[in-house]
Structure 1
Amino acid sequence: MNLRLGTRASLLATTQARTIADELRALGHDVEMVEIVSEGDLTQAAGTSLVGSATGVFVNALRDALNDGRIDLAVHSLKDLPTAPAPGLVIAAIPGREDPADAVVARDGLALADLPLGARVGTGSPRRISQIVRQRPDLVVAGVRGNIDTRISKVHSGEYDAVILARAGLSRIGRLDQITEVLDPLTILPAPGQGALAVECRADSPAAAAIAALDDAHTRAAVTAERTLLAELEGGCSAPIGAYARIDGDRLLLDAIALSPQGTYAIRQSAEGDAADGAALGARLAQNMLAAGANSLSDEQSPQPTAAQLNTMGGAAAPTQESAQA
C-alpha cells in the first residue's frame, strides 16, 4: 500500500514519524513523508508566540491534512492529543511505549535533590511545576520555551540551572547523554500518555488496517487507563494531573495525582484492575479522586478541604496514597 505520512518539520516530530515509516516499510508498504506546516511553526520561526495552545495548533494542522486528503496518516505524541475523539478520525495504532519518565538536564551533572537553594529550573508544564515545588519548595521554577535543544542550551549558557524534559523525547533524538537524572515515575508522575505515540488516520481509510499492525496491546491498555482518568477529571477538575499505568501479569496498575498549582495540596490515589479494561480502571480511579476533593485543587485560595478529603491530601510531605482494587 502507498501511504502518505504527515509530520511536522521539527527534529523530534520527523524522528518519530521516520520510526513509524520504517516499521510500515518493513511490513511491505511504500511510505512518503509529507511535512505539514502550521501557524505554530510559522510563529515559532518568526520568534513570536501563539495565543493559546501551540500544541493544539500543531495537532489541528495534521488533522486538517488528514480530513482534506493530503495525507493518509499522522504521527502524534499521544500526550499532546485531546482526550475527546476527533470526528471522522481514529487512533489506529499506539506502538510500544518509550520510558514515560521525566528527566533532569542540569549543570555540573546534578540531580534534582542536589541543586543549590534557589536554583532556577525551567519547565513549561504545570504538572511538573506542582510536583517539583512539592519536592523542593526552595527552587525557582520558571517557564521555558523552544525545542529540546534550545531548552538544553539554556542550561549550558547558565540561564537555567536545570530543565525538566520528557526522557522519551531525549531518547528519540539521541540526547540521552544530556540527562543528569531520570525521575522515578512513581515519585514525579508523568503526563497521561507520555512516552507513547499515536498513529491517526481517517476512520474510513483503507490504511487503518495496515496501521493497526503496529499497535501494542499493553501500551494501549496503559495509556487508555491514563487518558480515561484525565478525561474524567477534566470534566470537574482543572488541577495539574499526572498518571502512570503499567501491566503486571494480567493486572493493570494505575497511580494518579492531582495537585494545586503550587503543590500545596495534592490528592494521590492508586488502583488496579483487569488489564483488558483500562478505560474502566481509569474512570473508576478518577471518580474516587473527585469524591476525595480533586475538583477543589484548582485554586490555592479555594476553600479548605474537609476532614474526609484531608485523608488523601498531603501538605509539604509526600502525599497520602489510597488504593482500590477491582
Structure 2
Amino acid sequence: MNGTTPLRLGTRRSKLAMAQSGQVAEAVRRLTGRPVELVEITTYGDVSREHLAQIGGTGVFVSALRDALLAGEVDFAVHSLKDLPTAQPDDLVLAAVPRREDPRDVLIARDGLTFEELPAGARIGTGSPRRMAQLNAWARTLGKEIETVPVRGNVDTRLGFVTDGELDAVVLAAAGLTRLGRIDVATEFLSPDTVLPAPGQGALAIECAASAAPLAAVLAELDDPHTRAAVTAERSLLAALEAGCSAPVGALADFLGDEQDVPEMRLRGVVGTTDGSTLVQLSTTGPVPASHHDALALGRELAAEMLDKGAAGLMGERAH
C-alpha cells in the first residue's frame, strides 16, 4: 500500500452516514498515516420514497456501496451494521466492527414528554415495524391507545414532524443522534427491557474486498471483540428467523459483569405483530462466546426457541 495515495472510503451521502464515515476515516488516518477521502455513493434506499417495509429493507442501503468495492472504485466502505444483510458475500470481508455506540432507541416528544406522559391517541412517527410492535405493546400495558405513523426521511425531517406539530413524537436510534451531536433533543432513552433495538443497532461495519488482505489486516485493528461477539449473536438470531432488516424483530446482546470481568453474555430477542397485540420475547444467558461459531450458535438457539413459541407467524413480511 502506497503511503501517500489516499485511501478511498465509500459512504452514503446522508448527513449521518457522512458523520460516522468521517469518524472512521479519522481513525484510519491515525492508524495508517495515510490520507483518507470520502467517496459519496447514492444507494437505492436513499432515493426510493417507499417505506422500507415495502421495498424489502434488506440491502437497500448497502448494495451500491458493495458494487463500488467490487469494481475497485473505493478501497473500503462504512455501513450502519443494522443495514447489512445477514449473509456475508465471499468476495467481501467484514474487516472491523468498532466499539458500539449506545444501542438504545430514544423518544423525541413535544414539550419534553416521556412515553408514559404522552396523551391517549398520541401520534408517534417511526418507519420501523419493530418499533411499532413494541411501542404499541407498551401502550397496551399502560392501558392507552397510541397511533404509530410510518415516516421516512433524514434526522432533520423526522424531528421536523414534531417541531411542526404534525406528530407528538418520533423514535430514533440514540447512536445516530450521538454521532450527529444531537442527542440532547432526546426526551427519553427507551430501556431495552421495554423496546429492544434492531439487531446490530449502534454498531458500524467496515468492509473491504476479500482480495485486499493487507488493508483488511490494518482495518482489523479497529475491531472491538465484545461488540463483534454481540452483533454476531444478534444477527444470527435474525438470520435464523429468516427475517429481513425490515421485519419486526428486535435483539440485543449485552454483557453481565464489569468492563474488566465479563463472564456472561445475555441475548434477548423479540418478534411481534405491528399492532402490539402479540409479542414473543425470550432471552438466554451463557458464557461469553469464545469464537464466531459460538456467537452464531447462541443466536440460532434463541431463534429456535422463539420459533417454537410461534414467532414465525408474527413476522408477516419474510425475507426472500
In the alignment, what sits opposite 1:3?
A: 7
In the alignment, what sits opposite 2:218?
A: 210
**Correspondence for 2:16 among 1, 12, 16:** 12
In the alignment, what sits opposite 2:238?
A: 230
In the alignment, what sits opposite 1:22?
A: 26
Tell me which amino acid in the other structure corresponds to 2:118.
L
**Correspondence for 1:164 among 159, 171, 186:** 171
Please identify, of 49-58 and 162-171, the stretch whose mean Cα deviation from structure 2 is larger: 49-58
Q: CA deviation at 1:235?
A: 6.4
What number of residue pairs does the alignment pair up? 294
**Correspondence for 1:110 among 110, 113, 117:** 113
Inter-partner Cα distance in structure 2 for 1:264 and 1:29? 54
| Sequence identity (%) | 54
In the alignment, what sits opposite 1:271?
A: 284
| 1:176-209: CA deviation from partner (whole Å, max 9, x where unpaired) | 1110000001221000000000001111113101
In the alignment, what sits opposite 1:283?
A: 300
Inter-partner Cα distance in structure 1 for 2:161 and 2:111? 14
Report SS of the residue matched to 1:57: coil
Larger RCO (CA within 8 A; separation ≥ 6): 2
In the alignment, what sits opposite 2:196?
A: 189
Report SS of the residue matched to 2:170: strand
Report SS of the residue matched to 1:201: strand
| 1:239-298: CA deviation from partner (whole Å, max 9, x where unpaired) | 611111012212111111111231211111111122122211111111111122211223
Q: CA deviation at 1:49?
A: 4.4
Contact 2:138 2:194 survives alignment (8 Å): no
Contact 2:136 2:274 survives alignment (8 Å): no
Inter-partner Cα distance in structure 2 for 1:32 and 1:230? 33
In the alignment, what sits opposite 2:43?
A: 38
Contact 1:252 1:278 survives alignment (8 Å): no
In the alignment, what sits opposite 2:259?
A: none
Contact 1:239 1:260 survives alignment (8 Å): no
| 1:223-249: CA deviation from partner (whole Å, max 9, x where unpaired) | 11100011001169x961111101221
| Structure 1 unaligned regions, length at least 5 | 300-326
Q: CA deviation at 1:29?
A: 3.5
Q: CA RMSD in A?
A: 1.9
Q: TM-score, normalised by structure 2?
A: 0.87
Q: CA deviation at 1:57?
A: 3.1
Contact 1:5 1:71 survives alignment (8 Å): yes
